[in-house]
Structure 1
Amino acid sequence: MNKINLTTVLCLFTFGSSMAIAQNPLDFGSNIKTADPSAHVWADGKMYLYTSHDQECQQDFHMKDWHTFSSSDLVNWTDHGPSLSVDDLTWADDFAWAPDAAYKNGKYYLVFPAGTGFKDRVNPEKSTKWMGIGIAVSDSPTGPFKDAIGKPLWKKPYANDPSLFIDDDGKAYLYFHGMNHDYYVAEMADDLLSVKGDFIKMDMGGYEPKMEGPWVFKRNGIYYFTMPENNRVLTYYMAKSPTGPWKYKGVIMEEEANANNHHSIVEYKGHWILFYHRWLKTPGSACDKKQRHVAAEYIHFNEDGTIQKVERTDEGVGDFRKRVKAGALK
């Protein structure tokens, strides 16, 4: 009996230890389905994720709100609930897709896509779907956010997947996926409530594949334009300016099961992290199909600034606290 009990205890300990390390997908404390994570570290030292929210077993990306999550260790997360909903908008009622966020002028900004209409996948010529990009503002990083201008930043071109990058000089640039306007960028006005001047067509070095979900960041004076190439494979360019010219560098992460991906890359407590989403079946779900879940991996750079290829893991960043502590002891 004692031998059996000891074996049982050891098995439970081993199982519990593996669960403590495994962190992909991230544990948000519920069975919420999330995607398109936009990661930011604000002045309070916490990591914030702004995500889209998939309805359980949704059929075709009819999404209604955006959620905000925060953490100090990338393991224990707080779900701050919906930070904005399409019900709060007068100009859109659907397609609450990939958001981004920024801090400027003492305010927090949520830049988001939303739209109206219906996408007919069988008879595309009958589609009425339209999407635009809005701006919402809050005094808190977790919201609630309020639609700041009561309309999209522009109506043409059709656009979604915004990425708002603020450079060291305070200038803000909005990258997006747009109909016949991929690889364009818009400089934002100082208050972030309008576009300054015309769209800027960037020089991508002659390589412009189908893309969505751009994410731009800066490291050691180098700008990185990253994206899901063909909506599946995460790839990147490098440049010395936020508007290019850009040089294509290759793959960050391969596709998974012919499904889309959407990501962000940010440094936190001395470690660079790639946030992305995975398509996984969920035990206990009402439907037997893969749904989207936010995950994270460490990302590493070579001495010349190029990015090492990232593999998906079950562990993810589950040992983040241990890594940070080990770094502090050096």
Structure 2
Amino acid sequence: MRRISHALALAAVLALPAAQAQNPLKLGEKLRTADPSAHVWRDGRLYLYTSHDEECQADFHMKDWHAFSSTDLVNWTAHGPVLAIKDLKWADDYAWAPDAAYKNGKYYLVFPAGTGVKDREDPKRSTKWMGIGIAESDSPTGPFKDMIGGPLWRKPYANDPSLFIDDDGKAYLYFHGAGADYRVVEMADDLRSIQGDFVKMDMGGHEPKMEGPWVFKREGLYYFTMPENNRALSHYTASSPKGPWTYRGVFMEPENGNNHHSIVQYQDQWLLFYHRWLDVPGAACAKKQRHVAAEYLQFNEDGSIRKLERTSEGVADFAKKRAGR
């Protein structure tokens, strides 16, 4: 009898609709994506701008950035590469984590790229350099064009940009930089240059190693989120986009490798997009590769982010939740 019960249980699992297991997101067959930047534009669709890992790539040598959009978070439209390293005159490698923005009737893609080689065995021999560029388009799906022909600055070395535009239209750029973490700089109104100096923010005395910041605003409160020690997602809050910031703790524990995320509200649901390092059956290599995933995000009464776990379902029931509002 027990064997029959087990068999029936297995059959029931296999019979579940495909929508019940949609994490990681199904963005494309054999397409490896990471570092998702999520935004909701005027057409009512949710867009993801991602980096693109080449299959079994060596040391993050990546060549283009992709965009995807959806209205139900299960069925995604792939808009192909929206910008590539070959389109740049000032960089030839490292198409890492992008972000996007809408301002002045234009869509903007802010992205890191670089040159040189990183010598992991003897760092003193490394020639790697990275900077942050910005490209424009009349469409959220591109193609995007590098309008300034160079990075926004050359020193400090920088990547992982997060471009936050406040309610008053002012734009703030946060990033990961060599000796320049926890800094912010204001952008010019046309987003083609920075204005003023880099501001070192007051983080309340808690400044662990970090990557990929993401800044958003909810109910008048600003959130500075990041992978703490490049792994665990943590957050701070403030009453100003420049701080001072109050540390509020980790909301997602580390898994197999680095994490990079974004947070957005869509159809009254707060969502976390991030990437996971997972085994890929049938891949040309045995190492784990990165895949974009999503979860629902919730807040405590004091405004802090409630701790969450990774799930295999993710946001597969988003359409059902929306219909039941």
TM-score normalised per structure 1:
0.95
Name the structure 2 match of 1:42: 41
Question: How far did residue 289 of structure 1 move?
Answer: 1.3
Query: Any residues of structure 2 matched to 1:66-85 within 5 Å, and which?
Result: 66-85=65-84
SS at match of 1:197: strand
Tell me the distance in 2 between the aligned counterparts of 1:14 and 1:127: 50
What's the CA shift string for 1:185-233, capped at 9, x where partnerless? 0100000000011111111111111101000000000000000010000
Change (3 A) 1:11 1:254: closer
Name the structure 1 match of 2:312: 314
Q: Among residues 290, 293, 297, which one is paired with 1:292 in the alignment?
A: 290
Name the structure 1 match of 2:321: 323
Question: How far did residue 306 of structure 1 move?
Answer: 0.8
Tell me the distance in 1 between the aligned counterparts of 2:84 and 2:43: 25
Tell me the distance in 1 between the aligned counterparts of 2:308 and 2:12: 30
Tell me the distance in 2 between the aligned counterparts of 1:43 and 1:219: 19
Name the structure 2 match of 1:216: 215
Question: How far did residue 23 of structure 1 move?
Answer: 1.0
Name the structure 1 match of 2:123: 124
Tell me the distance in 2 between the aligned counterparts of 1:239 and 1:11: 49
Q: Among residues 262, 265, 276, which one is paired with 1:264 in the alignment?
A: 262
Aligned-pair Cα RMSD in Å:
1.5
Tell me the distance in 2 between the aligned counterparts of 1:89 and 1:13: 51
Letter in 2 for 1:87: K
Question: How far did residue 11 of structure 1 move?
Answer: 6.9
Question: How far did residue 29 of structure 1 move?
Answer: 3.0
Question: How far did residue 151 of structure 1 move?
Answer: 0.3
Tell me the distance in 1 between the aligned counterparts of 2:17 and 2:254: 26
**Count of residues in correspondence between the two structures:** 320
Tell me the distance in 1 between the aligned counterparts of 2:11 and 2:107: 44
Letter in 2 for 1:66: W
Name the structure 2 match of 1:110: 109
Name the structure 1 match of 2:277: 279
Tell me the distance in 1 between the aligned counterparts of 2:145 and 2:32: 24
The answer to whether the aligner puts 1:301 opposite 2:299 as a matched pair is: yes
Name the structure 2 match of 1:3: none
5+ residue gaps, structure 2, are 1-6
TM-score normalised per structure 2:
0.96
Question: How far did residue 169 of structure 1 move?
Answer: 0.3
What's the CA shift string for 1:248-271, capped at 9, x where partnerless? 0100100002x1000000000010
Name the structure 1 match of 2:57: 58
Tell me the distance in 2 between the aligned counterparts of 1:255 and 1:18: 29
Tell me the distance in 2 between the aligned counterparts of 1:38 and 1:167: 17
Tell me the distance in 2 between the aligned counterparts of 1:309 and 1:13: 31
Q: Which runs of 4+ in 1 moved over 6 A?
A: 10-13
Letter in 1 for 2:125: K
5+ residue gaps, structure 1, are 1-6
SS at match of 1:196: strand
Letter in 2 for 1:264: S
Tell me the distance in 2 between the aligned counterparts of 1:60 and 1:112: 18
Question: How far did residue 15 of structure 1 move?
Answer: 2.0
Change (3 A) 1:12 1:20: farther
